[in-house]
Amino acid sequence: MNKISVIIPCYNAEPYIDRCLQSIMEQTYPMGNIEVICVNDASTDDTLERLKEWEHRYPDNICVVDCTENGHLGTARNIGLDYASGEWVAFVDADDWIEREYIEVLYEAANRHHAQMSACREKRDPSSALIYFENDTVTDRADNVVEFRINDENKRKRFFKEQPLKLYAWGKLISKAFLVDNELYFPENLAYEDIVWGNLVNMYIESAVLIDRYMYHYYVNPESIVLKRNGSYHMDHLTTQEIMWAQFNARGFLENYRTEMEYEYLYNGYLGMLKILALRYDEPSYSAFRLLQELTGVKVGTDSCDRFASDPSVPEIHRLLFGMVHQYVSKSAFLELVDLLRRGSMI
């Protein structure tokens, strides 16, 4: 069996890291073929001390990398990838945990289908303890694995637009060579870094499998960066969209995938940022909204916005919002829109 590198970015993870590491050390995949790289991202609590205790208990499996400056998830994951010696890489967040069969099932599926990446379903889990699901099988069955072969432009466009494997780094097992050869690293010192990385992965991946089984526990953490209110880092969402567009341009994808990129920018960038402004700030910034309009308008022209806004397959609220990209919206109208979104008109 091939060696698996599990990379865990750790920042102030003292309350959760024991659960996360215990779930990894209980894997059914041979422990001699698992290395765990814990990157302490300049934590200010006792995370480092907890990690060192685990490293002392499992010196053959666990490696702790201590960073003196906080670089956010992207930096920590990139450092972990540099340290990784396995043929396969799995990213796990420090407050999450995995099923005992997680690595075994993902590896067997990727190996059997000759895939560059395998993924599973995640379950949002508020549990404070290490609790496993009641699964009835260790290995995947033929009827619950979806295989993707992205070997022509039309398939690539559909795969990129539909995002069947989502953009998150976690919940996946990925060939390290695939990541390194295509220079698929994370933006550093930013929140929402998965957006850039995940979209680039979707442009390069040629073979992947999705196991229709819940094996990743996504902890519903009220202290999570993406859930905290009024944080300036929420504006990183705009920055990551700009980085992503620049990356697609530099890598030569815009020429053939312009429509798909515009669609992605409207949904993940424009609508995503509108949702953040409405739901993550007590007093949403009108100037931030105007900047969002400006940046979106540069990427997605009037004709494209009109095309998406008149598409009957697009939800009505989305059509309305797309039609506003190139229109002047007063501050009072913006605040009315925020109120509408807060009252349940989902975007």
pLDDT value of position 138? 44
Claim to verify: residue 278 and residue 318 sit in the same structural domain = yes
Claim to verify: residue 236 and residue 329 sit in the same structural domain = yes
Quick one: pLDDT band at residue 345, thresholds 50, 70, 90?
A: low
Query: Could you report the per-residue pLDDT of 326-336, keeping only the tens digit for each?
Result: 999 999 999 99
Claim to verify: residue 200 and residue 256 sit in the same structural domain = no
Compute the average pLDDT of residues 195-220: 97
pLDDT value of position 139? 47
Claim to verify: residue 139 and residue 284 sit in the same structural domain = no
Q: Is 116 helix (H, G, I), strand (E, B) or coil?
A: coil
End-to-end CA distance of the chain: 44
Claim to verify: residue 291 and residue 205 sit in the same structural domain = no
Query: Could you report the per-residue pLDDT of 62-119, keeping only the tens digit for each?
Result: 999 999 999 999 999 999 999 999 999 999 999 999 999 999 999 999 999 999 999 9
Claim to verify: residue 123 and residue 202 sit in the same structural domain = yes
Counting residues of the chain whose pLDDT is more than 90, the rounded percentage is 88
Query: Could you report the per-residue pLDDT of 290-343, keeping only the tens digit for each?
Result: 999 999 999 999 999 999 999 999 999 899 999 999 999 999 999 999 998 888
Q: Is 346 helix (H, G, I), strand (E, B) or coil?
A: coil
Claim to verify: residue 296 and residue 206 sit in the same structural domain = no
List of E strands, the chain? 4-10, 34-41, 62-67, 88-91, 97-98, 117-125, 145-149, 172-175, 207-219
Domain that holds residue 267: 232-342
pLDDT value of position 233? 87
Claim to verify: residue 143 and residue 71 sit in the same structural domain = yes
pLDDT value of position 142? 45
87 found inside a domain: yes
Claim to verify: residue 45 and residue 179 sit in the same structural domain = yes
pLDDT value of position 330? 97
pLDDT value of position 136? 47
**Taking all residues of the chain, what is their mean pLDDT, rounded to a whole number?**
94
| 55 phi, psi to nearest 5 deg | -65, -35
pLDDT value of position 278? 94
224 found inside a domain: no
Residues paired with residue 23 on neighbouring β-strands, in sequence order: none
Q: What CA–CA distance (Å, rounded) separates 163 from 261?
A: 13
Compute the average pLDDT of residues 264-287: 95
Enclosing H/E stretch for 270 = none
Q: Is 113 helix (H, G, I), strand (E, B) or coil?
A: coil
pTM for the predicted model, two decimal places:
0.93
- Provide the CATH number for the domain around residue 126: 3.90.550.10
Compute the average pLDDT of residues 200-228: 88
Claim to verify: residue 197 and residue 54 sit in the same structural domain = yes
| 129 phi, psi to nearest 5 deg | -115, 170
227 found inside a domain: no
Under 8 Å between Cβ of 98 and 29: no
Residue 236 has what DSSP assignment? H
Please say which residue of 193, 219, 245 terminates a domain.
219
Claim to verify: residue 174 and residue 312 sit in the same structural domain = no
pLDDT value of position 143? 57
Query: Could you report the per-residue pLDDT of 29-70, keeping only the tens digit for each?
Result: 999 999 999 999 999 999 999 999 999 999 999 999 999 999
Claim to verify: residue 266 and residue 185 sit in the same structural domain = no
Compute the average pLDDT of residues 188-208: 97
* Residue 163 reports pLDDT greater than 50: yes
The CB density around residue 161, as the number of other CB atoms within 10 Å, is 16
pLDDT value of position 140? 44
Query: Could you report the per-residue pLDDT of 223-268, keeping only the tens digit for each?
Result: 665 567 778 889 999 999 999 999 999 999 999 999 999 999 999 9
Number of folded domains that form the chain: 2
Quick one: pLDDT band at residue 222, thresholds 50, 70, 90?
A: low
Q: What CA–CA distance (Å, rounded) separates 35 from 177?
A: 17
